[in-house]
Amino acid sequence: MNREIVERDADGNITKMYRYNAKGELIYTHVSDWEDGRIIRKTSYDASGNMTASFPYVYDDRGNNTEGTWFVYNKGVLMKAEFVYDDKDRIIERTHFGTETIAANKTYQTFDEKGRLAVSKYYEAWPDCAPVFTYYEYDDTGFTLKSTTEDENHHILHYEVLTPNEFNKVAEYTSYDGDGKPVYTYRYYYDADGNKIKAERYDGEGNLVSTEF
């Protein structure tokens, strides 16, 4: 089972993240440099300790992160990301730049009258593909209960169902395909203060496949 181990500074900020495969072998490491309570640079390293990428984090005069990073879960190499905000400091446009082997992607977001994310429009291989649309449903507390993703012709591709715990945080997250068959499930565990301490991933048959701490 893959697992993730983090190191934190005295303020609780994650300064290092190590990801290991099912054999306990290191896959990659992320190092975050902090200043005045926010990340100013993030660097990725491969299993041998070689630096694979390093990017500064940029903020606007309102403190919004306008340039940062993203990565593909199983690879770990950091890539550049850019963010655009509206006048309420909400991200309305997100661009993930790619590499020679990983396509760039782009997301546009709109919000409802209560300020909740209503619809996202996503280009998986921007700009050379059609978008998909994701619609969000909430309970009275604002907790996201369901998200449904459709293609450009509004055929359901997949949907996700979320269950809250007593802290109104995600206790379980299950993804279903367009025919309603479960694909995978995450279960999250928290300490008495509501801090996440463990996540388990299950396949569509209910078999445990990975654990993260």
Per residue in 133-152, pLDDT tens? 999 999 999 999 999 999 99
pLDDT at 18: 97
pLDDT at 73: 83
Looking at domain 130-213, its CATH architecture is Beta Barrel (2.40)
Backbone phi, psi, residue 74, to 5° = -85, -5
pLDDT at 113: 94
CB 48 within 8 A of CB 59: no
Backbone phi, psi, residue 49, to 5° = 90, 10
Close Cβ partners of 193 (under 8 Å, ≥ 6 residues apart): none
Model confidence over 41-94: pLDDT tens digits? 999 999 999 999 999 999 999 999 999 999 998 889 999 999 999 999 999 999
Give the pTM: 0.80
Domain spans in the chain, listed from the N-terminal domain onward = 130-213
pLDDT at 3: 87
Q: How far apart are CA 195 and CA 191, in angstroms?
A: 5
Model confidence over 111-128: pLDDT tens digits? 999 999 999 999 999 988
Cis peptide before 131 (omega within 30 of 0): no
